Structure 1
Amino acid sequence: MKHFLLAFFLSLPAAAQMKPAYFYQSIDVSAYPGASFTFEMQVYGEREDEESRTALTVIEYAGNRSVGSAQGGVTMDHFRENEWNRLSLSGTIDKRCTRLEVGAVFDGRAVFYYDDIVLKIQDKSGTHVLPLENTGFEGPDIKPWQLGNTPKGTQVSVTNLQAATGKQSLMADGMTDSPSGQFADVNGVKIYYEISGEGAPVLLLHGALENHHRFEHQIHVWTKNRKVIAVDTRGHGKSTLDTTTLTYELYAKDMSALLDLLQTGPVDIVGWSDGGITGILMARDYPEKVKSVVAMGANLSNDGIVDSLNKEMRFRLRQLEKTDPNGLEARVNRCMLTEPNIDPASLSKIHCPVLVIAGEKDVILESHTRLIAASIPGSRLLILKGQTHDAPIEAPYVFIKAVEDFWKQK
């Protein structure tokens, strides 16, 4: 890969000129001298700084000698953040070439996800899809893909946090070394959290099988005038997991203990999906620690979820029971299919300001969202027109404005 890495390195801004990390797989192309190739993959990016970037790579070898290379554009001008991008790289195979090394390079403070990798060869006989292995990263690890130049603080692994198709992708997380990141010993596990900004504290709680990076837009805006506490709940992100059965009451207990350790005093909570459920339970069960709650896409019981998602979760759990019954994804799916079990009448105990939000096209039934709002004294209800369960990332500034308007009025 050295030939390509030099080209990539020299194309970077001066501030970013360091050897990029990369992953690749080698494949025999000796049967296709002079043929054309097209190398494609789906890429999703969450970038903390503008100098972070990724690009596709194809290196041509004759034996162990590099005889050519192709690189994708290293500028990210047309890359759409927080959605899947189909990147493509085409060229002609040198007639001396016997194998290709195909993959991608990445650098900077960002989390990139890669999925659905395809290598096509076009010659006089037609188009051939070459048999790369583990192209959708649905296995337990990244093999036979190989890594290089992975810097300290960058984690590369298979993940279920994002997937273009299937259930998994390859994640290259270049933000694991955040100077604000720390671990807290809480209820038998280590909870990872990051604190940034100064001002009134706000606790951000993400959804199932996600992590604090899902709030990247909100963190960027709110750290300008708030102390933002962004958490990975137990088993998620960098937080550890024990054998305790997962429940939303346990998530709330963890967050209560974390706030005790941080000595923050009462906090505003912004919770999304599972995080919204946790926020509601904290307002009910730990009222002295909560100033207000924004609950986006929360539910009180499983019957508040649309049938299609429940069917998908049951199908996925049946698969996991055969392959990884004790893994995080199986345990979280069991939790979502059997929990929460919150009596709407119990929400009358909540006396702090609460904003209940859902998307017009949410996976939570609108009637259920309205039930939550009606059960909490003095709460406010907002249905985001045209939005889905993922409004915080699909329409981040609409979501941010709704939250900030609520904070001003409460």
Structure 2
Amino acid sequence: MKNSIKLLGIFIFTLVCSITNAQIKMNIEFDTPYGENETVGNYITIDGAKIYYEEYGKGEPLLLIHGNNGSIKSMGNQIDYFKTKYRVIIADNRGHGKSELKTDSLTYVQITRDWEAIVNHLKLDSINIIGWSDGGIIGLKMGISGKSKIKKTVAMGANLRPDSTAVNSWAVNYALKSKKMIELKIQEHDTTQNWNSRKQRLGLLGDQPNIPIRDLSKIKAKVLIMAGDEDIIRTKHSLEIYENIPKAQLCIMPGETHFTPASNPELFNEIANKFLSEPFKRPDSNFTKWKK
């Protein structure tokens, strides 16, 4: 059982800063105390929960949305890079970091609503988004919702379904195994961790999202779908998402994983910045349509 708990602590889906892997080394040390920066930190109460967020830089608003079990610090590499180019806004998602949970059923719908409330609270006329993992899902859902004016979205390692048609089967199986272990700890009334909170975060991964493919056609923003070629998300699913968004580009990074925003931030940030800063193009290779 002790080994199971240890494995849960480095659960492969998560973006926990303490992840260690012989093949993946993440940069998680920063000069600025991201996530604990009292000089720029604020709270907003949304649907009964206090949601913590921080702001950096000036200019066009850019939302950074972290992944499951992560926090503001998880995207410190992106804050460092983009805060000199944009007004960066990043929050601890509901039930993560310093943000309260205040629900017995955490959903992507609720987290999307939280982010839309932040946009309204800050009176942002239009935004750009970089979302990683769960954050990519939220970025897509905000585009589908249409309640915020979104110019461009970068969705890294996002999925529409929680099953093995979208996510590699080894990850699905691990989620099921972890779910059983957490249920056992709750039944045992174990108090070594907040197992209910873990259960809800795991529920996001194991049971959600459930986004109909047809809903992607509602997205008006320009979208860059990104993934590593050895991602948790199946490559064919990233392709499926790309092919069903009206204005989209696709980037499968060679030799990269689900954790590239922290393990190779130079590459990830350069690609994301190019997409955000340059005019959107989706050229056609069909030379038979070219004028002669």
Common fold by TM > 0.5: yes
Matched, 1:219 2:83: no
Aligned to 1:185: 45
Tell me the amino acid that sits aligned with residue 313 of structure 1.
Answer: A
Cα distance change of structure 1 residues 390 and 348 upon mapping to structure 2, 3 Å threshold: same
The 3-state SS of whatever aligns with 1:192 is strand
Aligned to 1:335: 204
- Distance of 1:180 and 1:264 partners within structure 2: 18
Please say if residues 161 and 210 of structure 1, whose CA atoms lie closer than 8 Å, have aligned partners that are also in contact.
Answer: yes
Deviation at 1:268, TM superposition (A): 0.2
- Distance of 2:186 and 2:136 partners within structure 1: 27
Counterpart of 2:182 (choices 311, 320, 336) is 320
Counterpart of 2:115 (choices 211, 230, 255) is 255
Please say if residues 116 and 148 of structure 2, whose CA atoms lie closer than 8 Å, have aligned partners that are also in contact.
Answer: no
Cα distance change of structure 1 residues 164 and 379 upon mapping to structure 2, 3 Å threshold: closer
Cα distance change of structure 1 residues 324 and 178 upon mapping to structure 2, 3 Å threshold: farther
Deviation at 1:404, TM superposition (A): 1.0
Matches within 5 A, 1:43-62: none
Aligned to 1:154: none
Please say if residues 116 and 147 of structure 2, whose CA atoms lie closer than 8 Å, have aligned partners that are also in contact.
Answer: no
Deviation at 1:337, TM superposition (A): 1.2
Aligned to 1:385: 254
Cα distance change of structure 1 residues 160 and 322 upon mapping to structure 2, 3 Å threshold: farther
1:128-158 per-residue CA deviation (whole Å, 9 max, x = no partner) reads: xxxxxx9xx96xxxxxxxxxxxxxxxxxxxx
Aligned to 2:11: none
Deviation at 1:249, TM superposition (A): 1.3
Tell me the amino acid that sits aligned with residue 316 of structure 1.
Answer: S
Aligned to 1:96: none
Please say if residues 197 and 227 of structure 1, whose CA atoms lie closer than 8 Å, have aligned partners that are also in contact.
Answer: yes
Cα distance change of structure 1 residues 317 and 357 upon mapping to structure 2, 3 Å threshold: same
Please say if residues 129 and 139 of structure 2, whose CA atoms lie closer than 8 Å, have aligned partners that are also in contact.
Answer: yes
Matched, 1:267 2:137: no
Q: Give the TM-score, by structure 1 length.
A: 0.58
Tell me the amino acid that sits aligned with residue 327 of structure 1.
Answer: N
Structure 1 unaligned blocks of 5 or more: 1-133, 139-158, 166-172
Counterpart of 2:142 (choices 274, 282, 302) is 282
Counterpart of 1:196 (choices 39, 56, 59) is 56
- Distance of 1:251 and 1:295 partners within structure 2: 16
Counterpart of 2:18 (choices 162, 173, 176) is 162
Matched, 1:291 2:147: no
Counterpart of 1:307 (choices 169, 175, 178) is 169
1:37-58 per-residue CA deviation (whole Å, 9 max, x = no partner) reads: xxxxxxxxxxxxxxxxxxxxxx
Q: Which has the higher helix share?
A: 2
Please say if residues 324 and 330 of structure 1, whose CA atoms lie closer than 8 Å, have aligned partners that are also in contact.
Answer: no
Please say if residues 183 and 191 of structure 1, whose CA atoms lie closer than 8 Å, have aligned partners that are also in contact.
Answer: yes
Aligned to 2:286: none
- Distance of 1:177 and 1:230 partners within structure 2: 12
Matched, 1:366 2:197: no
1:110-130 per-residue CA deviation (whole Å, 9 max, x = no partner) reads: xxxxxxxxxxxxxxxxxxxxx
- Distance of 2:37 and 2:268 partners within structure 1: 28
Aligned to 1:51: none
The 3-state SS of whatever aligns with 2:63 is strand
1:327-378 per-residue CA deviation (whole Å, 9 max, x = no partner) reads: 2221111221111111111111111100000001001000100000011002
Which 4+ stretches in 1 moved above 3 angstroms?
Answer: none
Total equivalences in the alignment = 250
The alignment yields a C-alpha RMSD, in angstroms, of: 2.3
Q: Which has the higher strand share?
A: 1
Please say if residues 116 and 142 of structure 2, whose CA atoms lie closer than 8 Å, have aligned partners that are also in contact.
Answer: yes
- Distance of 1:221 and 1:256 partners within structure 2: 24
Further displaced range: 316-325 or 178-187: 316-325
1:170-203 per-residue CA deviation (whole Å, 9 max, x = no partner) reads: xxx9652431011111121111100010010100
Identity of aligned residues (%): 32
Aligned to 1:145: none
Deviation at 1:258, TM superposition (A): 1.1
Cα distance change of structure 1 residues 243 and 288 upon mapping to structure 2, 3 Å threshold: closer
Tell me the amino acid that sits aligned with residue 409 of structure 1.
Answer: P
- Distance of 1:161 and 1:188 partners within structure 2: 28
Matched, 1:409 2:279: yes
1:65-112 per-residue CA deviation (whole Å, 9 max, x = no partner) reads: xxxxxxxxxxxxxxxxxxxxxxxxxxxxxxxxxxxxxxxxxxxxxxxx
